[in-house]
Amino acid sequence: MEFSKRRVLELSMSRRIHAAHRTGAHQASASHQSISARLSSIAPMLLFKAKTAVLILSAATAAAASVDDTASTCNTQRFLTVSTSNGPVIGHAASNSDCVIEYLGIPFAQPPVGDLRFAPPAKITSKSSYEAANYGADCPLTPSKPVAYPGFTPQAQQIVNYFASAAGTPQSEDCLTLNIWSKATQNSLKATKPVLVFFYGGSKQFQFSRFTIGNTDSPFYTGKYFADAEDIVVVTVNYRLNIFGFPGAPDSTQNLGLRDQRAAVEWVRDNIKQFGGDPNKITISGQSAGGVAVDYWTYAYEKDPIINGVIAHSGNVFSFPVNAPGVPERNWDTVVAAVDCTSASDVMACMREADWQAIKAAAAGIKPTPSTSVLRSIPAFYPMPDEEIVFSDYVNLTSSGSFAKVPMLLGNNNNEDGYYRIPAYASGIIPTDAQVASFLLESFTCPVSHQASARRAHGVPAWAYRYMADWNNTRLYPTSGAYHGVDLHMIFGASADVSGLPTTADQRSLTRLMQHAWYSFSNNPSSGLRSIGWPQFNQKTDSLIVLGENNAPTAQFVHPSTFNSPCPNVTLAGSGTLGSATTNWLLAPQ
C-alpha cells in the first residue's frame, strides 16, 4: 500500500493498567507521557496511494485512562454472589486475574423444550440460587468437519475448530444461557461501566452458511481479557440456530433465534447493574451472522431499542441474501417428513415430541440454496421476512430512516475470503480472482460503506473500519491474511488461548488500541471514538479507519474510495439491488 505526504499524529495518554497474562500473550504497562504531534513522511506501502492521517498509540497508552483501578482496589467478595431477578448468581475469579469475576451459563429464558420448542423464548420464573461455574450447553448444531486445506499451518485446524463450533463441546436444547465478565473495581460498585453484549456468527464449513453453528463455550469469545484491560462488562449469549432458531414452519412465529437475543438483552438490562454495569450503556455487537443480527435489531426495535450502540463485524442487513418465498416452508416440510410427522393430526405437536437429535440430523441433510457467488450460499434454515423482526425491503426502510437512531461502528476485514476459501475447497471449488473480488464487494466492503453512509445521512453517528493485520499465531495458511473473524482476536484478546502460540509485542499493542476503541464506543457511542481521534465516516474525506496495516499497531485514516469506488455498480448481496439504487445518500451531505 503506497501512501504519500501522510500526517503522523503520535498520541500518548496517561494510564495505569493491571493485567495477568497467559504464555506471554498478555502484557500490561503504565506510562505518563505528554501529547505530541509531528509531521513525517511514510515510506511506500502496498496496494493503494492516499492522503491519510495515522493515529499511533504506544503499547503503554492505547487503553488510556479508562482503567484506573489496580488489584489492591478489587472488591471480589462483594461480587462473587450477586442478586438477580431470578435469584442469586454465584461467580468465581477468572483464571487471568483475581480481579475479574466470571459468571458462566446463566439462564436468561426457560429451556426451549416440549411446548416451548419452536416457540418464542419464555421468561424464567425460578428464583433459586445458581452456581455460574461452567458454560451452558451449545444450542443444537451440526459441527463443521475438518478440511485438509493445502498449506494449513499447525495451529489452523484448532483455530477453525474453536471458531466453527467443532471443539466437541456438549449440546442440548436447554441452551439459552449467557456469560458475564466484570472486573470487581470501584466502577463496579458505582454500576457505571459500559456493557458489551456479543452475538456469535455461524459460518459453517462445506456450506458457507450462517445462523447454522456458533457457541459461547469457546476461548474465541472469552470476555475475561477485555474485561480486565478496559474495565468493561462483557456478555456473550447463546441463541438458537438452524431449524431450532429459524424453523420456517407455516403459520408459526419466525426468527426465534433473533427473539432469543432480545430476551437476553432484556435480562441484561434488568440485571446488569448488580454486576457493575450501567443498563443505560448497553452496546450490542456481533460478527458475520451476529453482525447481521445486530443490524436487524435496529430495524425491528426502532421505537424501543433498549441499547445505546451497535457494533457490526463483517455483516449487516445488506451482506447476505435470504431464501426466496416458499423455500423455508419446503425445507420445514422435508424435516417433518423425515421424522414421521407428516400424517400427524397436529404436525407441530408431533415435531415438539420428536427427538431433537433426529430433527437436527434431518435438517443437516438439506443442502443450502446456491447464490450469485460461489463463496456464499443461503442456509436451509435462515432468518426470513416476517415484517416484524426481519423485513423484506431494507432498501426503502433505510432510505426513509426507519431504524433506531443509535450510533454504529461497523467494518470488515481486508481478506474475508481467506476463511471462505476453506469451505470452497472442501466443496471442490477454487474461486477465480474475479469471483473473490465480487464476493468481497457484495458482502462486505459495499454493505459497510452503504450502511455507514445511510446512518450519517440520517444524522446518526457512524464509523467504519477495515482490519488488515496478519499475525503468525492466527495465520491459517500462507496467504490467509486478515480473514473472516480474525479481528475478534483483537477485541477478546485471546489469540494465544485459541492458537496455543504466543503473541508479538506489536500484536499486543494493536489489541490494546482496538480494545480501547471498542471500550470508548461502548462507554459513549456518540462521541467516544471522536475523543480518541477517530473520524466519523464520510464518503468525501479520509475517514475509513484502517487497522493494523503491515502489522503496525496503528489506526490510519484513508479515503473510502480506496476500497469502495466500484460500489455504485455492485449488486448488494443482501438486497439484490445495485448499490447505486440503494444509496442515493452516498452523495448526501454528511
SS (H, E, C) 16-73: CCCCCCCCCCCCCCCECCCCCCCCCCCCCCCCCEECCEEEEECCCCCCHHHCCCCHHH
Residue 124 has pLDDT above 90, yes or no: yes
Question: At which residue does the C-alpha cell 483455530 appear?
Answer: 159
Query: Which is higher by pLDDT, 207 or 52?
Result: 207
By C-alpha distance, which of 513, 551, 506, 554 is closest to 25? 506
All structural domains of the chain = 64-330+358-587 (3.40.50.1820)
Residue 44 has pLDDT above 90, yes or no: no
Task: Write a three-state SS string for 222-271.
Answer: CCHHHHHHHCCEEEEECCCCHHHHCCCCCCCCCCHHHHHHHHHHHHHHHH
Residue 46 has pLDDT above 70, yes or no: no
Residue 212 has pLDDT above 80, yes or no: yes
SS3 236: strand
- Written as nine digits, the cell of 339 is 421424522
- Give the range among 99-103, 411-415, 523-527, 577-581 with minimum mean pLDDT: 577-581
Instruction: For CA atoms 114, 119, 121, 127, give the dihedral sign.
Output: negative
Residue 371 has pLDDT above 80, yes or no: yes
Give me the chain's average pLDDT, please: 87
pLDDT reported for residue 582: 56
pLDDT reported for residue 145: 84
Residue 24 has pLDDT above 90, yes or no: no
pLDDT reported for residue 202: 75
Question: At which residue does the C-alpha cell 462445506 appear?
Answer: 206
Helix runs in 408-477, H state only = 417-426, 433-440, 446-457
Neighbours of 341 (CB within 10 A): 20
Separation between Cα atoms, residue 299 and residue 321, nearest integer Å: 17
Question: At which residue does the C-alpha cell 415438539 appear?
Answer: 352
DSSP state of 444: I
- Written as nine digits, the cell of 535 is 473520524
Contact 333, 422 (CB under 8 A): no
pLDDT digits (tens, 9 = 90+) for 235-253: 999 999 999 999 999 999 9
DSSP state of 542: S
DSSP state of 151: T
Half-sphere exposure of 244 (CA within 13 A, CB side): 36
Catalytic (active site) residue 288: yes
For every residue of 172-225, DSSP letters joined together read -S---EEEEEEE-SHHHHHT-EEEEEEE----BTTTTBSSS---S-SGGG--HH
pLDDT reported for residue 211: 84
pLDDT digits (tens, 9 = 90+) for 546-585: 999 999 999 999 999 999 999 999 999 888 666 665 555 4
Half-sphere exposure of 587 (CA within 13 A, CB side): 8
pLDDT digits (tens, 9 = 90+) for 298-338: 999 999 999 999 999 999 999 998 888 999 999 999 999 99
Instruction: For CA atoms 525, 527, 531, 534, give the dihedral sign.
Output: positive
What is the enclosing helix (H) or strand (E) of 170? none
pLDDT reported for residue 243: 97
pLDDT reported for residue 577: 67
What is the enclosing helix (H) or strand (E) of 81? strand 81-84
Residue 209 has pLDDT above 70, yes or no: no
pLDDT reported for residue 473: 98
pLDDT reported for residue 144: 80
- Catalytic residue, candidates 12, 182, 288, 443: 288
pLDDT reported for residue 252: 96
What is the enclosing helix (H) or strand (E) of 106? strand 97-107
Separation between Cα atoms, residue 233 and residue 100, nearest integer Å: 10
pLDDT reported for residue 283: 99
pLDDT reported for residue 402: 98
Q: What angle do CA 304, 309, 314 make, to 5 degrees?
A: 115
pLDDT digits (tens, 9 = 90+) for 249-288: 999 999 999 999 999 999 999 999 999 999 999 999 999 9
DSSP state of 537: P
